[in-house]
A = this chain, B = another copy of it.
Amino acid sequence: MDRKVRVGVAGYGTIGQRLADGVALQKDMELVGVADLAPTLAIRALKEKGMPYDLYLVQGADKSKFDELGIPTKGSFDDLLGKVDIMLDSAPGGIGAKNKVLYEKAGVKAIFQGGEKNSVADVFFHGYANYEKGLDKSYLKLTSCNTTGLIRTVDALDRAVGLSKVAITIIRRVADPGDYHRGLTNALQIDKAPSHQAVDLMTIMPHVEATGILVHTPVTHGHIITVLASSKDGSKVTKEKALEVFENHPRIRVVSIDEGFLGNASLFKYARDLGNPRGDMYEIGLWRDSIVESGNDIMYAINIPQESVTIPETIDGIRAAMHMQSTREEGTNKTNEYLNIARWKK
């Protein structure tokens, strides 16, 4: 393809804003516009910033409400679909499935986020674990935030030493900063096991048996997951080997308590101090001082920046679906280059 791939974003919420920002950084893509329903705070901020992205209105939107606030709009959702090659659908869970009918009608590809059912897509996708499965597909579904970050480490270990089994404990942040529609106060909440993230991991990596327990906690700045991984042949996975694998992964940031990374809030603070837009981070954190051996198995803890972690893998998905790069390595490298990922490793 000689021209840039044209991308639209449906749903300008927590994920949609970040997808738009990420696509806008890709030199081989063009962000055609974003679509939403109502003048939310995110849309008001877009206006206050001078409309860096064009705004389209989905069906059901009341244009007069935007007009009253002086928020310019560029047209309807159909108008947007007429101008793009592929849509990133970050509409609320369940809406994506309805939007798919429109995508099919308009003949555009789409990538759905984790809130949709797997059946909405041709392939359940992760940039590092199964890039090639996404090649030329019309409809991809991204793994959810926890699963995306988790798979980065499990896939990397699996490629290095061969894994047969993982058991995870997800210490989940219960809401994003600014969320008022959900919350938990002075309580831990447990879900029925196994957690869906373990089940999802097996869908992406069917040769690995996975299970796990999820506990919600009243915090907003990132999930923490502990992982216990067993090698395929029962041989020992050493702490040194695991650390080497993690340090070589562009989307894993190995940190330590001694450096000052005391928990999920340290990583959020660090991203703000870096000047990252919105205080976001694309990499997961992995604590060097959490890695321990359990017999021949290896155990470690990671931090998942829930708002931004799926952005790189979603952009990988565009590369696969549009066949912009043919291999996992080329695809993820290009995404990393434009998102400025792993600059600190150089």
Residue positions of A touching B, CB distance < 8 A:
17, 40-42, 44-46, 48-49, 164-165, 167, 169, 171, 173-175, 177-180, 182-194, 209, 211-213, 215-222, 224, 226, 228, 230, 257, 259-266, 268-270, 272-275, 277-279, 287, 289-295, 297, 299-301, 343-344
**Which of the residues B48, B218, B293, B301 comes within 8 Å of A274, measured between beta carbons?**
B48
A188–B265 CA distance with the chains assembled, in angstroms: 7
On whether A268 and B344 interact (CB within 8 A), knowing A184-B183, A278-B275, the answer reads no
A268: chain B residues at CB < 8 Å are 177-178
CA gap between A323 and B186 in the complex, in Å: 42
The reply to whether A272 and B278 form a contact with Cβ atoms under 8 Å apart is yes
**Given A215-B224, A290-B190, A272 contacting B177 (CB threshold 8 A):** yes
Let me know if A185 and B188 touch, CB within 8 A.
Answer: no
Known: A178-B265, A221-B177, A265-B180. A213 touches B186 (CB 8 A): no
Extra contacts, 4 of them, besides A185-B218, A213-B301, A279-B279 (Cβ < 8 A), are: A45-B275, A183-B184, A184-B185, A218-B219
Q: Are the C-beta atoms of A41 and B301 separated by less than 8 Å?
A: no
A221 to B290: give the CA distance in the assembly, Å. Answer: 25
How far, in whole Å, are A34 and B277 apart by their CA atoms in the complex?
Answer: 23
Contact: A278 with B277, CB < 8 Å?
A: no
- Contact assessment for B194 and A263 in the assembled complex, using a CB-CB cutoff below 8 Å: no
Q: Give bound CA distance, A228 to B182, whole Å.
A: 31
Q: Are B292 and A41 within 8 A (Cβ)?
A: no
Are A270's CB and B171's CB within 8 A?
A: no
- A290: chain B residues at CB < 8 Å are 190, 192-193, 213
Tell me whether A217 and B220 are in contact (CB under 8 A).
Answer: no
Check A217/B188 contact, CB under 8 A, given A269-B177, A295-B165: yes
Q: How far is the CA of A228 from the CA of B230 in the complex (A)?
A: 12
Q: Give the residues in chain B near A48, CB-CB below 8 Å.
A: 274, 343-344
Asked if A180 contacts B186 (CB within 8 A), the reply is no
Does A265 lie within 8 Å of B165, measured CB to CB?
no
Q: Once the chains are docked, how many angstroms separate the CA of A228 from the CA of B169?
A: 10
CB of A23 to closest CB in B, whole Å: 16
Residues of B close to A217: CB separation below 8 A = 171, 188, 217-219
Complex-state Cα separation, A165 to B167, whole angstroms: 14
Q: A275-B278, A295-B209 are in contact. Are A180 and B289 (CB under 8 A)?
A: no
Known: A193-B289, A290-B213. A219 touches B188 (CB 8 A): yes
